[in-house]
Structures are given as C-alpha cells and as structure tokens.
Amino acid sequence: MQYVCPRDVCVGCAVCIDICPMKCISMQFDQEGFLISVIDEKNCIDCGQCLRVCPSLKTPIGNNGDFEGYMCWNRDTIARINSSSGGVFSCLADYILERSGNVYGAAFNENFNLIHMQIYSEESLPCLRGSKYIGSNLSGIYIKVKSDLENGKYVLFSGTPCQNAALKNYLSNDYEHLLTCDFLCHGVGSTRYFNDCLIYLEKKYGSNIISILFRGKQHGYLKPTFEIRFANGKIYKEYYFLSIFGYFFRDKLCNRESCGSCKYATVERFSDFTMADYGCSDKLEQPLREIKKGISTLLVNTEKGRKVFEQVKNNLVYVERAKDIVISSSPYLQMQTSISKDRRMFFYDYLTLDFEEFIKKYYSVSKKEKRKMKYSGKWNESPVQFLYKVFHKICKL
Ligand SMILES: Cc1cc2nc3c(=O)[nH]c(=O)nc-3n(C[C@H](O)[C@H](O)[C@H](O)COP(=O)(O)OP(=O)(O)OC[C@H]3O[C@@H](n4cnc5c(N)ncnc54)[C@H](O)[C@@H]3O)c2cc1C
C-alpha cells in the first residue's frame, strides 16, 4: 500500500483526496481505527499535488504569536449551555448565517459516523455544537468550501488546527468572505475503539443509540458527563473522564499517534480565531455559576479576526486577558499532547482480545476515583455559597 505521508505522520484530514486530479486517493481506517489516506498506485500520475497541500508536510504562514486573548461566553444561554465551553463557536456561526453564508463543522450523521458538514440555517446549528473527541471525515469538504467562496458566499470553517492548515494549503489564496476557526487540540481518539464502545453499550442497554453527547453540563462545565441515549428511553451517563471512552482518552491510550508530534500546538496561529476551554489557572474572580455554564478562551489571531470580533463582541460577555496568562494557562499553545508509553500494549490487547474481555481487563474505575470526581471542585465555592447550600439542605429536611 502506498501512503501520501507516513502512517504515523498522517493526520487524516483528507485534503489529498480533494486535490487529487486522478481521484486515486481514498481514506481508509488503519488497524487502530484512525483514518489514513491511501493511494491507488495504478492511477497515480505522480503530480505531487497531494504533497503540496498535506498539512503534515507543509505549514501555512502564521501570525508570529501576535494575538489578543479573551475570556468570554455567549450571551445566548441556550447556545452556551449546549456547547462544550462558552459557546463562542455559535457566536461566530451566527455572524456567518446572518449573512446567508455556510458554516462547516463536525457532526454525527445518522449512523453516528463523525463527518464535516455544511449547514446554512440556524436550525441545523445544534448538530455542529460540542466537541466530539474522534477524527472527523472531511472528504469532499474542501471542494465545497472553495466552490462556496468562488460563488461569493460567506463561509465559516471550524476544525482542528491541522484541518484548518489543510484548508489554507488547498485554497492557496485568501478569500475575503472566509472566516476560519480552530481550537487548542490535544488530539483525537480511535474511531474504531469508539464504535466498539457504541456496539458494546447498545448490547448492554438492549437498544439502538439515538444521541451522543461527549460533554454534558449537568454537573457543570468542569465536570463534563458523557451521555448516550437509547431508543428504549435508557441513558448511559458517566463523568466524561470516567466513561468507557473518556477514561482511556484522558490517559492518552486510545489517541492518534500523529497527534503526539503535532506541528500546530504552538502560539503561531494562522486561523482567524482559536477557541479553547477557559483554563481557570489564574485567580480571575468569576462567580461559580458562570463557570458551571461554561467559559471559553478566545484568541483573535488575524486582522480579519479583529474586524469580525468588533462586530460580534456585543453578543459575548468578554474580558481581555494578558497574553502571558493565556499562554501559561493553555498547554497546547506551548507543546503537543503526549502519548502514553502504554499505548502500544493497550492497542495490542484491544486488537487481540474479545472486546468484553478487553473492557474487563482495562476498564475498572475505582470507588476512590468516582468519589474524587464527585467531590472535586466542591471546595472552590466561596464560604458564603457553601453555607447557603448547607442552609438550604437543612431547610428542606
Ligand atoms: C478533538 C478536540 C480536542 C480538543 N482539545 C482541547 C484542549 O486540549 N484544550 C482546550 O482548551 N480545548 C480543546 N478543544 C476545544 C474545546 O473543547 C471547545 O471545542 C472549544 O473551546 C469551543 O467551544 P465552544 O463552546 O465555543 O463551541 P462548541 O459548540 O463546543 O463547538 C465545537 C466546535 O468544534 C468542532 N468540532 C467538534 N468536534 C470536532 C472534531 N472531532 N474535529 C473537528 N472539529 C470538531 C465543531 O464543529 C464546532 O465547530 C478540543 C476540541 C476537540 C474537538
């Protein structure tokens, strides 16, 4: 088999598929369950277009780390609650939709495959909201974005930094109506492992899945819940980091290997905006209830980004942050994610054992871990808030 770039470097962005004049590249899952691009050698004419646009081989020119950083959240509470952090993505999407433009982002299709989708109405926006921690398939998307832009449409493209780099390489030119946003990224998990979890849970709950939510905010933004709803009304709900998927993603066991050598985990940004979870590492005074609903960090990276921020900022509650604070509280502006030394063993067992056997061996959340998760953050409340809650509980008795 011939690859566009080595398997451990390929990010699975699929841009090579869209650029190939011979249509002889396809996306396939490797054994571990990550999308990689494979060339059909018979039809390849060695034109080199795939190498020209590959974000692992070519890095777009960035902003030299020249950005403004904000702590912010969307004033629209519904959009905010249903987003992973402060709902800043929805605010940018609204800007484009109000101009009759198209928004591109990752959503599950009816078979729960994660793909990039084009949406053009407010009603479709919810499917793009929320982080999904597996790779999205973008085959055909770069062609659509370019066609929209050539037809004068406004476009918002949202994706990982490497997907944004792929788009920049693909387009070559800047387009006035194109707005791009990436996010700080600690990589994606194995789609094959994720799908196996879904099959396992469907069997366990005796019903088909109807919805998946990686980061529910029932217990607040700082303690996300992984929620899967089934057709028979049952729900699998677990703290994300203790869930059947998040537990291994947290420990960097089921993550994509190439994310460990990501070139884009740096202050050098080239998308107009970079979104991130608000780190809370500095002692900025924030009422606890605001943290619970979710707060974003937003980096405005380009001149175009600055102009758009001026137009959308009234829809956000925002506070400008000093650059050094933003950088020090955002690890993936400084270095790429690590990959666990146990990853090889994890995948060896995953690929050789029966899935239920594998889960028995690896997935055992201790009571201590559960307790720790349940009570973490409790003591962040101010003494007044704490006493108020105790008082309330006593009154209820
Ligand atoms: C795989 C992944 C890793 C991340 N890692 C970090 C991190 O380490 N630190 C950090 O601060 N923030 C990280 N984020 C970003 C963070 O979780 C929020 O997505 C971001 O702050 C925007 O939140 P929001 O509330 O504004 O928007 P949301 O409504 O949550 O919007 C999420 C946006 O991300 C897009 N998206 C979702 N899943 C994917 C995917 N798999 N591939 C491509 N695009 C996708 C959606 O289309 C949407 O545009 C990560 C996100 C993802 C998807």
3-state SS of 141-169 is HHHHHHHHHHCCCCEEEECCHHHHHHHHH
Q: Give the distance (Å) from ligand 1 centre to CA of residue 100.
A: 24
Q: Which residues of the chain fall short of a pLDDT of 70?
A: 280-289, 377-393, 396-397
Work out how many domains the chain is built from and give that number. Answer: 3
CB 245 within 8 A of CB 322: no
Mutate-to-test residue for ligand 1 from 11, 75, 84, highest number of ligand atoms within 8 A of CB: 84
Residue 324: Cβ within 10 Å count:
9
DSSP assigned state of 135: P
Which tokens is 31 given?
Answer: 């054994």
Q: Give the distance (Å) from ligand 1 centre to CA of residue 7.
A: 24
154 and 226 both lie in a single domain: no
190 φ/ψ angles, rounded to the nearest 5 degrees: -70, 125
Question: Relative to the CA of 330, which ligand 1 atom is closest?
Answer: 11
* Whether the CB of 194 sits within 6 Å of ligand 1: no
Closest by CA to 197, choosing from 159, 160, 238, is 238
* Whether the CB of 132 sits within 6 Å of ligand 1: yes
Cα 183 to the chain's mean position, in Å? Answer: 7
Q: Give the distance (Å) from ligand 1 centre to CA of residue 357.
A: 32
pLDDT at 290 (0 to 100): 82
94 and 164 both lie in a single domain: yes
pLDDT at 280 (0 to 100): 62
Q: Assess if residue 285 is contained within a domain.
A: yes
305 and 238 both lie in a single domain: no
Q: Assess if residue 394 is contained within a domain.
A: no
CB 264 within 8 A of CB 162: yes
**Residue 49 belongs to domain with CATH number:** 3.30.70.20
Nearest CA to ligand 1 atom 12: 276
Q: Give the distance (Å) from ligand 1 centre to CA of residue 272.
A: 15
In this predicted model, what pLDDT tens digit does every residue of 234-258 receive, in sequence order? 999 999 999 999 999 999 999 999 9
- The SS3 of residue 139 is coil
Count of all residues that appear for the chain in the document = 397
6 and 97 both lie in a single domain: no
In this predicted model, what pLDDT tens digit does every residue of 247-299 receive, in sequence order? 999 999 999 999 999 999 999 999 999 999 997 665 555 656 688 899 999 99
Q: Assess if residue 18 is contained within a domain.
A: yes
Q: Assess if residue 116 is contained within a domain.
A: yes
| Cα–Cα distance measured from residue 369 to residue 242, given in angstroms and rounded to the nearest whole number | 8
Mutate-to-test residue for ligand 1 from 124, 128, 183, 258, highest number of ligand atoms within 8 A of CB: 183
* Whether the CB of 87 sits within 6 Å of ligand 1: yes
227 and 363 both lie in a single domain: yes
99 and 152 both lie in a single domain: yes
Q: What is the domain extent for residue 349? A: 191-254+341-381
323 and 351 both lie in a single domain: no
Phi-psi region of 189 (alpha: psi -120 to 50; beta: other; left: phi over 0): beta
Question: Relative to the CA of 93, which ligand 1 atom is closest?
Answer: 49
- The SS3 of residue 227 is strand
113 and 85 both lie in a single domain: yes
Q: Assess if residue 388 is contained within a domain.
A: no
Measured N-to-C along each axis, helices 88-97 and 303-312 cross at an angle, to the nearest 10 degrees, of: 90
Residue 379: Cβ within 10 Å count:
8
Question: Relative to the CA of 80, which ligand 1 atom is closest?
Answer: 25
CB 60 within 8 A of CB 270: yes
> What is the edge-to-edge ordering of all strands in the sheet holding 209-216?
209-216, 225-230, 235-239
Closest by CA to 259, choosing from 51, 53, 34, is 34
| Cα–Cα distance measured from residue 207 to residue 202, given in angstroms and rounded to the nearest whole number | 5
Q: Assess if residue 60 is contained within a domain.
A: no
Q: Assess if residue 108 is contained within a domain.
A: yes
| Residue 347 CB-half CA count within 13 A | 21
Residue 388: Cβ within 10 Å count:
12
85 and 137 both lie in a single domain: yes
Question: Relative to the CA of 296, which ligand 1 atom is closest?
Answer: 21
Q: Assess if residue 387 is contained within a domain.
A: no
308 and 160 both lie in a single domain: yes
Q: Which long-range contacts (CB under 8 A, 24 or more apart) does 374-382 make?
A: 374/239, 376/222, 376/223, 377/220, 377/222, 377/223, 380/288, 380/291, 381/288, 382/288
228 and 347 both lie in a single domain: yes
User: pTM for this one?
Assistant: 0.94
CA distance readout (Å), 344 to 76, 133, 318, 337, 354: 44, 20, 43, 16, 17
Residue written as token pair 């039809």:
43
214 and 322 both lie in a single domain: no
